[in-house]
Amino acid sequence: MNEFELIDEITSHLHQQPNVLLGPGDDAAMLAAPDGRVLASTDILIEHVHFRQEWTTPYELGRRAAAQNFADIAAMGGVPTALLVGVAAPKAQQSQWFSEVARGLQDECDVVGASVIGGDLSASDRIMIAVTVLGDMRGADPVARSGARVGDVVAVAGRLGWSAFGLAALVSGASIDSALLSAYRVPIPPYAAGVEAAAAGATALIDVSDGLLADAGHIADASQVTIELETPSLVPDPEVLAAARQLGIPALGAVLTGGEDHALLAAFPDASSVPASFRIIGRVAGRGEHAVLVDGHPYQGKQGHDHFG
């Protein structure tokens, strides 16, 4: 197919929600924004940096590209509404590959009620997918990273360590629980927990994409506080413990530093304000140091993922 035939093939797999006033096919799309404000974020997936084709199907790649962007909107307490997707791939890439990516994008959009409203295609020597996500606060105020206060409790919703063990197994060639492999290929962010956290009065909120310690550190820096995490509250899931024994990797280390599960980490004024979808794992212990402590001490080792670290 030529470029324009390929665009038609891709868009044939996409459908639009009622808030899309003008979808793919023009120079720009038009989206209704009843709140009068628009949340926006962007992410890039690059072959051999974020994924390998031998590990991830194009359908899974589409779902993952959408999910990691939707998680950023959930981490503001918002609701995702639309995606703009740029795809670069080798000229020899089969049209079916693009169709499967589009199908994955659409299926993840269906989870949250969003739409792919446009994008761009380009030839490249490797696959790159750049996604811009838009979201809506529905009249509420966004929850930033900078609002945590001394005395707040710290809580998390979603999985920790699953994606890290999925990736470790793919790298080593080990055979482990398929749910962990799926967690790496297609994360399952707790989208609804973001809105719940905002409604419950969360003072700070973040998507755990780089690792629990690293992302808690972003809250600590933005809020100018010290966060103390408590390992008795960070008991790894049974699937993670089984994989840790099999692969010889410390389970707690993966829980603390493994990324790409897209859990949500939040601070709340007190334990009574924490929604049922969250579990308390620590507290905001003081101001000034901008640090994250584990059981009262600095964590020895890598804090999480850093592209330039």
pLDDT at 302: 83
How many CB atoms sit inside 10 A of residue 92's CB? Answer: 6
How many domains is the chain partitioned into structurally?
Answer: 2
Last residue of a domain, one of 115, 136, 157: 136
Angle between helices 95-112 and 58-74 (to 10 degrees): 30
Q: Which domain holds residue 174?
A: 145-298
pLDDT at 300: 87
The whole-angstrom separation of Cα 102 and Cα 29 is 17
Question: Which amino acid is residue 144, in one-letter code?
Answer: A
Last residue of a domain, one of 113, 136, 159: 136
The whole-angstrom separation of Cα 45 and Cα 42 is 10
pLDDT at 303: 81
CATH of the domain at 113: 3.30.1330.10
* Burial class of residue 309 (count of CB atoms within 10 Å of its CB; 0-12, 13-18, 19+): exposed
pLDDT at 288: 78
What are the tokens at 290? 């901008």
CATH of the domain at 166: 3.90.650.10
How many CB atoms sit inside 10 A of residue 6's CB? Answer: 17
Q: DSSP assignment, residue 81?
A: E
Same domain (yes/no): 57, 188 = no
What are the tokens at 28? 């720009």
Profile the chain (309 residues) by mean pLDDT over runs of 10 residues. 87 94 95 96 96 96 98 98 97 94 98 97 96 97 97 98 97 95 97 98 98 97 97 97 96 96 98 98 90 94 76
Q: What is the pTM of this model?
A: 0.95
| 304 inside domain | no
Same domain (yes/no): 89, 151 = no
pLDDT at 306: 72
Same domain (yes/no): 177, 290 = yes
pLDDT at 308: 67
| 306 inside domain | no
The torsion of the CA quartet 112, 74, 276, 213, rounded to 10 degrees, works out to 140
Last residue of a domain, one of 92, 116, 136: 136
Same domain (yes/no): 274, 155 = yes
Same domain (yes/no): 69, 214 = no
